[in-house]
Amino acid sequence: YTGMTSDIDRRVDEHNSHLPNVLYTKNPTDFELIFCSWFETRDEARVVEKYLKGGSGREFRQNLSAGRQVDYT
């Protein structure tokens, strides 16, 4: 899952609750937080979210999931 929220703990709990009234990804498995970043504005967060959902971002996420050191800046 890649997205933005103002309360990361609540959002992870929502994803892992599997309740029918909670929107979550199509694969209802438990999530483990592996990366989190804070931004001053939603616009800044959207730029990084768009990057993470694109081709280079997918590679970044794969490296992160594999335990490789990564830098998106």
Give Cβ neighbours of residue 22 (< 8 Å, ≥ 6 apart): 14, 15
pLDDT for 46 equals: 93
Surface-to-core class of residue 20, CB atoms within 10 Å of its CB (0-12 exposed, 13-18 middle, 19+ buried)? exposed
Between 8 and 22, the more confident residue is 8
List, for residues 11-44, the tens digit of each pLDDT value.
888 878 877 666 555 666 777 788 889 999 999 9
Surface-to-core class of residue 21, CB atoms within 10 Å of its CB (0-12 exposed, 13-18 middle, 19+ buried)? exposed
pLDDT for 21 equals: 65
